Chains A and B, each alone.
Chain A
Amino acid sequence: MTQEAETLRVVIVDDEAPARSRLRDLLADCADELALAVVGEAANGRAAIELMAAVPADVVLLDVRMPDMDGIEVARHLQKFERPPAVVFATAYDEFAIRAFEVHAIDYLLKPIRLARLKEALARARSVPPRPGVLNEIARAPRTHLSAQERGKVYLIPIAEVLYLKAELKYVTVRTTAREHLIEEPLNKLEEEFGERFVRVHRNCLVARAAVRGFERALQDGEAHWEVLLNGVEERIAVSRRQQHVVREFGKS
């Protein structure tokens, strides 16, 4: 094998401090044979994504079971990066995840991690590009956040803060009380993923059920239709003729 001149930039993500420290030790042992540098560490998913948006990395060693945002979701967000890092999952014991990894031939490390296995995984990570799509399939739950990239920055939007999702041309506008973000995902995929959390009020719009304050009749071009009133913002969303039944459903509950 030819010596690669470039140093492999590695990021460690694990919620448990001893697990991170163990990986650090092992990576230091690897450094004799493999040019690598630990460019960052994170103790949760959110911090990991923010870190990697700021510091480019080649490989991320990612714990699967973490609070708030699990490793698989972190990897899903990382995929959207312009140059996504290779992901190597690490797990102590998670039957579901392991089965999914096996089925989709995703490389993973079992904790406690062995030095030899780690070396192998790092060597392979360099040559194998990440496979998009697979992660969405193995995810067990809807994401807890949406990620939007704007001018080289990554914004993580907690799904609970989303008021509505509105499709416009090739983007979807994500509205929170604070501001709007643009994401590049098809609206029907989002509807599929988040299911009952949102309700479709228009061909191009999903509204968060929890954000609905009420409905009001409005006149437009001499035609009456319903509009959704939302918590936290003045804006109103038109309910299309086809989705009028939604108003009645809310009236009942």
Chain B
Amino acid sequence: MARSINQNAYAGALPNFRNLGIMLRVLVIVNVAAAAAAIVKSPDLLAAWWQFIESSALVEPLLILSLLVLAALSNVLRRIPYWAAAMVVLAVELVLATALYLAWRVLLGDGPSALERYWALVALTTFALLAYFHLRERALSPALSEARLQALQARIRPHFLFNSINAVLSLIRQEPKRAEVALEDMADLFRVLMADNRELTPLVREIELCRQYLGIEQLRLGERLRVDWQIDAFPRDALVPPLVLQPLLENAVYHGIEPRSEPGTISIHVYALRDELHAVLRNPYREASDHHAGNRMALANIRERLALHFDAEARLSVKASDDAYEVRIVMPYVKERDR
């Protein structure tokens, strides 16, 4: 069984070089460094600009090539230990730099200054970037364990817990069978909440969890809660961060259904579009609901976890109109066999 991306991350792992966010970070950092070097070397800003353009001719081809090669090697790199992988990256960079240097000589004859100088520059930049990604990974990791703690404090509202227990208690005398099912569902829900939620989980399981959660809420709310599942087209092999949908449903029930005496519908639409997975949740909504803090906390928590798993490739957006509230999550379509 393949080790998961994020379990690895804790022992210290290279970033995912196939991630757009990581690539952008590399591009920006290297170019900023080149610009800084140009400014240091030049007497004024105009000269610095020309200097920067000139050095771009050297920097950009190396940069683009590196990104391509690293993206290609990404899977191999993430499977070997961190220090070995870091050495491989350094070796790749030096080889590429040498190759470009030689190509340059052949094309332009005379060519730029000594090769050792390039090696030193490339090695330094590579170390700096590796250190940056290492620190970043470390900085984000505590956020994840904190997020797991918040699972108990914020994502399952105490309000839900106590009301559900109350509902189950009311069933025990009249409908013991239903009480049993409800308790089983609650057990499943809490098992997931208390589990180590760092690994991606099958979307199928997340949806099953949502069904169980809504089943419990249905006990209390009866006819007032209507659910419209639009998931016929959802990809069976997709992986998602655990608890990416359930907390949103809990928000929808708390803010959209409970404050209304008339029935309301929560709709859940999950589908894959090209290489992206979309999840859209809608619920009725009325202004002047007084509990916004919980809502924001859940959204912030999900945003944070999406960023950790997918960096810039995932996004969560919220659209609130007069009578409806919509949360849309877009994330990369990660398949079971890819990991």
Contact = CB atoms under 8 A, between A and B. Distances in A.
Interface of A: 15-19, 21-22, 25, 43-44, 65, 67-68, 92-94, 110-113, 140-141
Contact of B260 (A19, A67, A93, A140): A67
A84 B163 CA distance: 28
Main secondary structure of the interface of A (DSSP, over half): loop
A16 B167 contact: yes
A19 B166 contact: yes
Interface of B: 157-159, 161-163, 165-167, 169-171, 173-174, 219-222, 258-261, 290
A18 B157 contact: no
Contacts of A94: 159
Contacts of A65: 159, 258
B177 to A, nearest CB: 15
Contacts, number: 62
A192 B49 CA distance: 64
B171 A18 contact: yes
Contacts of B163: 16, 19, 92-93, 111
B261 A112 contact: no
A15 B261 contact: yes
A18 B261 contact: no
A130 B260 CA distance: 29
B161 to A, nearest CB: 8
Contacts of B159: 65, 92-94
A92 B162 CA distance: 6
Given A67-B260, A67-B261, A141-B290, A19 B162 contact: no
Contact of B166 (A43, A92, A140): A92
A112 B162 contact: yes
A93 B162 contact: yes
A18 B170 contact: yes
Contacts of B220: 16-19
A17 B223 CA distance: 10
In order of increasing CB-CB distance, the 4 nearest A-B pairs are A22-B170, A18-B170, A92-B162, A18-B167
Contact of B221 (A16, A21, A22): A16
Nearest to B173: A25
Nearest to B258: A67
A67 B169 CA distance: 23
Given A92-B162, A93-B162, A19 B290 contact: no
B252 to A, nearest CB: 15
A21 B261 CA distance: 18
Given A65-B258, A67-B261, A68-B261, A19 B170 contact: yes
Contacts of B290: 140-141
B270 to A, nearest CB: 29
Nearest to A68: B261
B156 to A, nearest CB: 11
B170 A21 contact: yes
A111 B171 contact: no
Contacts of A111: 162-163, 165-166
A44 B259 CA distance: 11
Nearest to B174: A21
A5 to B, nearest CB: 30
B158 A93 contact: yes
22 contacts: A15-B261, A16-B167, A17-B222, A18-B166, A18-B220, A19-B170, A22-B169, A22-B170, A25-B173, A43-B261, A44-B261, A65-B258, A67-B260, A68-B260, A92-B159, A92-B162, A93-B157, A93-B158, A93-B159, A111-B166, A112-B162, A112-B166
